[in-house]
Amino acid sequence: MSDNSGNASREKTTQWLEHVLQTYYTYLERKKRQGSGGGGGGATVGIKVIDFDIGPGFAGDGRISTLSDLLSLRVRFLISGSDEEKTENWIVKIPPNDKADREMAQMAQVDKREIHFYTEALPELEDWGKSRDASLSVGVPQCYFAKYHNTQPQVEDDDGTILSDAESVLVLEDMRPNGYSMRDFNTGLSLDEAFAALREIATIHALSWAMQETTDDMALDDKWDFAYRPQKAASAYKIMIEQGFPTLADFLDRQEPDGPDILNKLKALHPKAAELLCELLEPPPPPAPSCLTHMDFWCNNLLFRKRTPPDGTATGSENGNVVNGNGHCSNSSGDEDGDNGSDTECLIVDWQMMAISRPTHDVALLLFTSLTPEVREANTEALLKHYWNVFQRTAARLKVELPFDYGVIENEFKKSQLLALLLVIGSIDLALDTPVTQRRLLLALRDMAKEDLI
């Protein structure tokens, strides 16, 4: 590439960055004015980008991403009227360059779904929570910018033109400079981290369930028509299960003494997979709850940190415009059931598969995939009760009475374990990647067989 071409590409990226920052900071300023009674108008905030660096997102962190490409971006800039240099650290999600992954992502509309989560579902949930005088926060990274177009082609360019020309772009705060990190899939989550993850997802579940319960205009699956539809999701998962089942069968056939017996049970279940998927993915009949669910809730889509960073300083963005390092920080009130996980913060990422379904699907998938057998077997009941306590406490803060009890959650969880198994079969190569994960899967299957869940 010639110097002129490289300079033109960098200039184009600079203009795009200034547009993103201008959009975000103008939104903040207008929201601030509106909150102080000054109306939602006001002049556009001027931005001047000084410099930026683009790199691979989560390189070397072990994060698996096939439905999008991730870039890390650090941008230095000035706001008009101020000489103070500011810095933002971002993760930018764009459609995958790999042709097969790209076709799969386009077919499932994963980018569209996640963009709508950040730009529609999340703001509606937060606004509704405020209308109930509940100071709830949602454990997700701050969204700075989102764009979705169906037709615009992607331009591949190492100098950043890919950012300005991608047909869909989602810009989120990179939480790693604020002390957040992933956990290794082989190692699994600690008990404290599992409590923290369930605290965050229970808050989102309860918030969306409560909003649906008190809103007369329409159900969530009608209101948010971008959510993954049960029939469409079932069809996609069924294809993945058909591809993964032979690999699982070969593995179980070699696991003496009980592997072949478990395989026979799964073979009997296999012809019913499509029917089961449709049944389990549909919102359950009342009084069992349905709500916004993540549907890909495992350790690869979670970020953690301890509440007090290693340097002992208070958490927060260096720009001072977000709380606790992100615009939607994890809850800090602790847990009345023994403060389980209260010293660990958790953020949930990758809302590409979001659906309106049974909340216990997320609980079951996390416990099935992301805990060691020892942690899971010793703590499943405590974790499920913890989830329930957070759910009902959140509903109480929102002043919505629950028409179901813990027994309903227990029964729903049993059904959700079967869905978790079916989803794992669809990603069997990952589940069998190492001897550690093979053992995790085998012991989970043994437990399900003992409890007649398969």
Q: Is residue 26 predicted with pLDDT exceeding 80?
A: yes
What would the mean pLDDT of 284-296 be, rounded to a whole number? 95
The pair of structure tokens assigned to 44 is: 């556009």
Nearest to 241 by CA among 267, 260, 204: 267
Q: pTM for the full model?
A: 0.87
Q: pLDDT band for position 134 (50/70/90)?
A: confident
When the pLDDT of each residue in the chain is averaged and rounded to a whole number, the result is: 86
pLDDT for the residue numbered 338 = 52
Question: Rounded to whole angstroms, how far apart are CA atoms 77 and 46?
Answer: 10
**Beta carbons within 10 angstroms of residue 107's beta carbon:** 10
Q: Is residue 335 predicted with pLDDT exceeding 70?
A: no
pLDDT for the residue numbered 337 = 55
Q: Is residue 330 predicted with pLDDT exceeding 70?
A: no
Question: Rounded to whole angstroms, how far apart are CA atoms 28 and 37?
Answer: 14
Question: Rounded to whole angstroms, how far apart are CA atoms 167 and 151?
Answer: 7
pLDDT per position as a tens digit, 359-398: 999 999 999 999 999 999 999 999 999 999 999 999 999 9
Phi-psi region of 309 (alpha: psi -120 to 50; beta: other; left: phi over 0): beta
pLDDT for the residue numbered 299 = 96
pLDDT per position as a tens digit, 176-207: 999 999 999 999 999 999 999 999 999 999 99
pLDDT for the residue numbered 42 = 67
Q: What spatial distance separates the first Cα and last Cα of the chain, rounded to whole Å?
A: 58
pLDDT per position as a tens digit, 154-182: 444 444 444 444 578 999 999 999 999 99
Nearest to 45 by CA among 78, 75, 14, 16: 78
pLDDT for the residue numbered 378 = 97
pLDDT for the residue numbered 40 = 57
Higher pLDDT, 303 or 332: 303
What would the mean pLDDT of 28-43 be, rounded to a whole number? 71
Cα radius of gyration (the chain): 23
pLDDT per position as a tens digit, 406-450: 999 999 999 999 999 999 999 999 999 999 999 999 999 999 999
Q: 3-class SS at 312? A: coil
pLDDT for the residue numbered 150 = 57
Q: pLDDT band for position 291 (50/70/90)?
A: very high
Question: Rounded to whole angstroms, how far apart are CA atoms 119 and 141?
Answer: 13
Weakest-pLDDT range from 67-81, 96-110, 112-126, 307-321: 307-321
Q: Hey, CA dihedral for 416, 417, 418, 420, is it positive or negative? A: positive
* Residue type, position 288, single letter: A
Higher pLDDT, 163 or 103: 103
pLDDT for the residue numbered 218 = 73
pLDDT for the residue numbered 34 = 72
pLDDT per position as a tens digit, 9-18: 889 999 999 9
Task: Quote the percentage of the chain above a pLDDT of 70.
Answer: 83
Q: 3-class SS at 47? A: strand
